[in-house]
Amino acid sequence: MRKTVSFVVLFVVSAFLHAQRDVTEFLGIPVDGLKPEMIQKLKEKGFVSSAINKDILEGEFNGTQVNLHVATNNNKVYRIMLCDATPIDETDIKIRFNRLCQQFKNNSKYISYGDYTIPDDEDISYEMAVNNKRYEALFYQQTMTVDSVAMIEEVRNLMLEKYSVEDLENPTEEITADITETAIDYAVGLLFNKPVWFMISEFYGKYYISMFYDNEYNKANGEDL
């Protein structure tokens, strides 16, 4: 059984990078752990506490002055949010948004499944005010390490919840297809737990970028309800 599952899993996910509990990183720092520890690590990267609120950090990121917020769930960090410190006009925000899309697209650390650039002739102020359109771009951080053995074991355990050892030692075409689908879902799931996305936000006729580095593992999933 082990050989059968191992062969199928390796064949199906050979194009995927995968890891065990691999989480989103911001400036090389895992988006995880306790908030005070995260704030200290960010200060070591050059960010400083805001004079208004010590939980808000200020600094430069990707050539732009930003305000940085650390969000938690059950005392665990699940999000780093960056907001441009200085709002700009419609023309400039469109340029900034499209430039970010291109930078992420050209960065081998990220993968995306869409083109989010805004057409030159689009009236974003009208679209946002009248049609409530949201201008967002979603990317996923590529996992940095490979652990094929761990993935095979995880898929194997999932299969044992549905089939007997005997079934998996001599799988039918239907079971083999199920193994393949499960392996793909598992590999894609690892990727989808590391989203980095940004959007255009508006404030009294001016615009700024809000950017989010999320650790989906630490997000609330209704467990406290």
Model pLDDT for residues 4-21, shown as the tens digit of each residue: 555 555 555 544 444 445
In whole angstroms, give the CA distance from residue 114 to residue 124.
Answer: 19
pLDDT at res. 202: 95
In whole angstroms, give the CA distance from residue 29 to residue 187.
Answer: 23
Q: Which two three-digit tokens encode residue 183?
A: 């392996």
Helix (H) or strand (E) holding 200: strand 195-203
**pTM, to two decimals:** 0.76
Please give the DSSP secondary-structure letter assigned to residue 155: H
80-112: pLDDT as tens digits = 999 999 999 999 999 999 999 999 999 999 999
- Exposure on the CB side of residue 58, measured as CA atoms within 13 A: 9
